[in-house]
C-alpha cells in the first residue's frame, strides 16, 4: 500500500505495514504447513511401501531357503540313485 502526498510516495501507517507483514508471514506459514503435511503423507506412504517390501523380502528369503534345502535333498537322492544304478550294472561276483 502506498499513499501519495503532493506527488511524493508516503509510507503507509506503521500499523497497516505491520498487519500486511503479519498477513504475508501467515500466508507463508500456511503454505509451509501444507508442504510439510504433503511431505509427511509421502513419507508415510513410502514407509508403508518399505514395510511391504521388507515383508516380501522375508517371504522370498524363506522360499529361497526351502528351495535350497529341497535342492540339496534332491542332489543327495540323485547320488543314491546313481550308486544303485552302478550296483545294478556291475556284474555279480
End-to-end CA distance of the chain: 116
Query: What is the residue-level pLDDT of the chain in tens, covering all 93 positions?
Result: 456 666 676 667 888 889 999 999 999 999 999 999 999 999 999 999 999 999 999 999 999 999 999 999 999 999 999 999 988 888 766
Asked whether the beta carbons of 3 and 10 are under 8 A apart, the reply is: yes
Residue at grid coordinates 522360499: 63
Asked whether the beta carbons of 1 and 19 are under 8 A apart, the reply is: no
CA–CA distance, 52 with 77 (Å, rounded to integer) = 37
Every domain of the chain and the residues it spans:
3-89
Amino acid at each position: 500500500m502506498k499513499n501519495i502526498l503532493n506527488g511524493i510516495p508516503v509510507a503507509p501507517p506503521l500499523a497497516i505495514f505491520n498487519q500486511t507483514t503479519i498477513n504475508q508471514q501467515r500466508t507463508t506459514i500456511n503454505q509451509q504447513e501444507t508442504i510439510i503435511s504433503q511431505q509427511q503423507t509421502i513419507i508415510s506412504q513410502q514407509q508403508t511401501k518399505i514395510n511391504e517390501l521388507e515383508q516380501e523380502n522375508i517371504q522370498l528369503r524363506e522360499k529361497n531357503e526351502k528351495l535350497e534345502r529341497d535342492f540339496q535333498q534332491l542332489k543327495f537322492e540323485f547320488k543314491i540313485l546313481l550308486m544303485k544304478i552302478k550296483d545294478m550294472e556291475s556284474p555279480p561276483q
